[in-house]
Structure 1
Amino acid sequence: MVSNPTLERAVARARLRLVPFLLLMYVLAFLDRANIGFAKDAFQASAGISAAAYALGAGLFFLTYAAFEVPSNLIMHRVGAKIWMCRIMVTWGLVSAAMMFTQGEMSFYALRLLLGAAEAGFFPGVILYVTYWFPQEKRGQILGLFYFGAPISFILGSPLSGLLLEFHGAWGLEGWQWMFLIEGLLASIVGIWAFWYLDDKPADAKWLPADERKALVAAIATEEKAKESHGHAGLKAAFANPRILHFVVIYFLIQMSVYGVVFYLPTQVAALLGKKVGLEVGLVAAIPWICAMAATYFIPRLADQTGKHRSLAALTLAVSGAGIAVSAGTPPAVALVALCFAAAGFIAVQPMFWTFPTRYLGGVAAAAGIALVNAMGALGGFFAPNVKNWADATFGAPAGLYVLAATTFIGVLAILALGAARQPVAGATPVTARGDR
């Protein structure tokens, strides 16, 4: 663990300044990506979109998102976070707001593809940005705090989206149009703010005292040199290493569980309550995300303290799979509790997962490798709604949820299979010397 008091103070100061803002950015990213789930029923009826077209359009986002992830992260590595994060957020906010003009399936498909292209690079960009600012030993906790963005986006965004849907008829707009417009413009505003607020690297941070800035720069530089000495900092390391493919498979399966639930959770809760999607359903739908936020705070922190990232990640994802399975076909109260475990598991596992590739890759390889893992893994978000829709149509509901639960348990096995190939911590002792990382 970090033992230098000056470095500890620098990390604490950077955490206080950067994490809340990164968290705000992620809240808006997740909200604009997933708010289609709240608009589902009204949106389909108004825009004339079938269930199959909705599933396809929801997933199309991830095709262009995946296609542009690697080039976007390489550009950010070159030009810096403040310029590139501003560009990403402003453009995705404008495209998300433009969803209010959807008329029919083709415009829905086109806008979802554009949204994926606009947002591409945000998430791996933040993961890369964290490697610039925080030593490896602190990264699980930092990413755990960052991942609060997903549950917060639903704790706050669920009631907000539900409330905006009730603006139906105001100024001649339907509720779902208000939802897309307001939530999209919020992202663009925060994107402009990001340009003035973020610093690219610790060396640029005038808000850090000189001694703390020097200690933090030295710590990060030491880690990068160690990664280079193991040959994991060049671009080839991101594309020619089977370990990266292993990371891709794990993240793909995690994202299958995430988006198989996210895109359908509001309507699933509405069905459990026997009500239409609105403010009341939004408030109830926020409950699983409160549980997710608690899990995301405690579990990655425990993993950092014990070094057991792999076993805790596997256990957490297994709990998620069980929750998805139990939520299918059980009484409403039981199903809601099961969804709480599902959401807690598939959100809390992700910050622990990202300690694996960030421990392994440095330099330009980190920029490309993190983006590649996120891009290919995020295709799970394309397959999840379509697989769920196919299973439900073929075998009858809730077969889709059982299929998603099964893929989640395959992800558990993939995480456990990481055990034999652990790598040295940059600038520290080998991974096998402490815990099961």
Structure 2
Amino acid sequence: MQRSTTPTVDSKSVIRKVKRGILPVAFLLYAFNYMDRSSISYAQLTMGKELGIDVATYGSIAAIFFVAYVLLEVPSNMILARVGARRWLARIAITWGLVTIVTGFVQDLAQLYVARVALGIAEAGLFPGLILFLTYWFLNQDRGRAIGAMALAMPVALVVGSFTGGLILDHVDWFGLSSWRWVFILQGLPPVLLGFWLLLTLADRPRKARWLSEAERDWLEESIAAEQATVAEQQDKAGELRALRHPKVLYLGAINALAGVATYGMTFFLPQVVSQLYPTYSATDIGIYGAIPYICAAGAMLLIVRYADLSGRRKPVVLACFLIAIIGLIVTAVFQDVPALGLVGLVLLAIGVVSNIPTFWALASEVLTREQSTVGIAVINALASAGGFFGPFLIGKVAGAGNTIVGLSVPMVSLALAFVMLLFVKVPGRVPPSAPEASPSDASR
């Protein structure tokens, strides 16, 4: 017997459930990912002396991570779309955690290079995979804040990594192993455990979420599908592989690559800059001072992302973030002999770099159709990762064997170029938000 009425769904309640069920997973994955990727920045404070690694060589070691990472971004996202997020994200977490642990046992520079390449292979596809995963669960009006909640993991991870990295270097040398080795070993264990947990618990799509009712699952799936259909009507038609050469994808990717120079330059070199500002401080002290920019950035990002989503002014917000980061770099470079002001510059840099990320990705996912998103998001992120290669490499070369702060001229120039390029990006009209109360039939009208 057919039902005479369609169950009414409280859309706000559904979104709250999705936030509770999905965002903690994305947050933990991204947090542990960033901790593992950047663990070398604190390990280098003592590893460099033991293995004979100067600033220029360290820049090359940090950069080589991105070689395989860039090449595998697109294939990884295509695999995720086909095999499901649960299995693929779990595979990524387990393999990168194991590689990080193994890095703690390298004996020379050649082995360290191999370990960093292997880490790039293992981690490839995580961030674009998470962005794509969030498009399966969140409508456009909520997506920026969802990405922001996930991206909050970056400064949080760097804060935790700063504190723990410094403490481990000063206090952990168990079983005769150097303290820098324990930075890798201890920070590699959590993602392995998280990966196995994901295999048991993660839902790939709303239709597989046991914590949603059948009516809620139907409403969410149909609402997202209807929104994507509306966006598709406004955009050029392009299949998955055509997105590899779509001008809009490549242009956004170029902007993200230039921004990536600053993002990864900060990630890999901030501890070295702090140690140069405070040359007599211990590793623990450097970890504490190095955490300050990220603490400030985390708070600022929450406010900035909320404003960008509610106002719809995502492009101006990203432009402002680029400008704040440029000002921060200038302040640190000019006042490197005044530690407090140099640290203020690093705070501004972190705020600009961290806060632009979720808003930029919300803007990109708003611009791309569903057909373009699977490959397009991966392409854009792969190009950012190319910035991750050139950023640390060029900073290391410019800094040479001495003044790391001189290398900050590299991200300064790249952010200025990104600012100019973003000025010419055309933003489509926003898709109207769905009504607070809706039913499955209403969503598909």
Q: Same-fold call, TM > 0.5?
A: yes
Moved more, 226-235 or 238-247: 226-235
What CA deviation, in whole Å up to 9, does each residue of 1:9-34 have, x standing for no partner?
Answer: 11111012211221111111001111
What CA deviation, in whole Å up to 9, does each residue of 1:200-220 have, x standing for no partner?
Answer: 000111101233222211111
User: Equivalent of 1:389, from 393, 396, 405?
Assistant: 396
Contact 2:173/2:182, CA 8 A, preserved across alignment? no
| Letter of the 2:304 counterpart | I
For residues 340 and 325 of structure 2, what CA distance do their matches in structure 1 show?
A: 17
Contact 1:257/1:321, CA 8 A, preserved across alignment? no
For residues 243 and 364 of structure 1, what CA distance do their matches in structure 2 show?
A: 14
User: Equivalent of 2:121, from 95, 117, 129?
Assistant: 117
Contact 1:224/1:426, CA 8 A, preserved across alignment? no
For residues 35 and 238 of structure 2, what CA distance do their matches in structure 1 show?
A: 33
1:269 equivalent to 2:269? Answer no
Mark the CA change 1:362 to 1:192 in structure 2 (over 3 Å): closer, same or farther.
farther
Q: Give the corresponding residue for 2:314.
A: 309
Two-structure CA RMSD over aligned residues (Å): 2.0
Give 1:359 deviation, angstroms.
Answer: 1.3
Contact 1:90/1:188, CA 8 A, preserved across alignment? yes
Q: Give the corresponding residue for 2:59.
A: 55
Contact 2:294/2:347, CA 8 A, preserved across alignment? yes
For residues 132 and 83 of structure 2, what CA distance do their matches in structure 1 show?
A: 13
Moved more, 143-152 or 278-287: 278-287
Q: Which residues of 2 match residues 195-206 of structure 1 at below 5 A? A: 195-206=199-210
Give 1:396 deviation, angstroms.
Answer: 6.1
- Give secondary structure in 2 for the equivalent of 1:275: coil
Contact 1:222/1:427, CA 8 A, preserved across alignment? no
Give 1:135 deviation, angstroms.
Answer: 0.3
For residues 143 and 9 of structure 2, what CA distance do their matches in structure 1 show?
A: 17
Give 1:103 deviation, angstroms.
Answer: 2.1
Contact 2:9/2:216, CA 8 A, preserved across alignment? no
User: Equivalent of 2:250, from 245, 254, 267?
Assistant: 245
1:150 equivalent to 2:157? Answer no
For residues 199 and 360 of structure 2, what CA distance do their matches in structure 1 show?
A: 29
What CA deviation, in whole Å up to 9, does each residue of 1:127-178 have, x standing for no partner?
Answer: 0001000001111111111111111012222111111112453211111111
Q: Give the corresponding residue for 2:165.
A: 161
Contact 2:134/2:143, CA 8 A, preserved across alignment? yes
TM-score (norm 2): 0.91
Mark the CA change 1:242 to 1:397 in structure 2 (over 3 Å): closer, same or farther.
same
TM-score (norm 1): 0.92
Contact 1:10/1:208, CA 8 A, preserved across alignment? yes
Moved more, 123-132 or 360-369: 360-369
Give 1:57 deviation, angstroms.
Answer: 0.9
User: Equivalent of 1:260, from 255, 265, 277?
Assistant: 265
Stretches of 4+ aligned residues off by more than 6 angstroms: none
Give 1:5 deviation, angstroms.
Answer: 6.7
Identity of aligned residues (%): 32
For residues 158 and 394 of structure 1, what CA distance do their matches in structure 2 show?
A: 23
Mark the CA change 1:26 to 1:171 in structure 2 (over 3 Å): closer, same or farther.
same
Give 1:231 deviation, angstroms.
Answer: 4.1
Q: Give the corresponding residue for 1:360.
A: 367
1:95 equivalent to 2:99? Answer yes
Q: Give the corresponding residue for 1:350.
A: 357
| Letter of the 1:140 counterpart | G
Could you tell me which runs of 5 or more consecutive residues in structure 2 were left unpaired when the two chains were aligned: 1-7, 435-445
Contact 1:141/1:301, CA 8 A, preserved across alignment? yes
Give 1:397 deviation, angstroms.
Answer: 5.5
Contact 1:231/1:237, CA 8 A, preserved across alignment? no
Mark the CA change 1:383 to 1:373 in structure 2 (over 3 Å): closer, same or farther.
same
For residues 396 and 185 of structure 1, what CA distance do their matches in structure 2 show?
A: 34
1:278 equivalent to 2:283? Answer yes
Give 1:424 deviation, angstroms.
Answer: 4.5
Contact 2:144/2:305, CA 8 A, preserved across alignment? yes
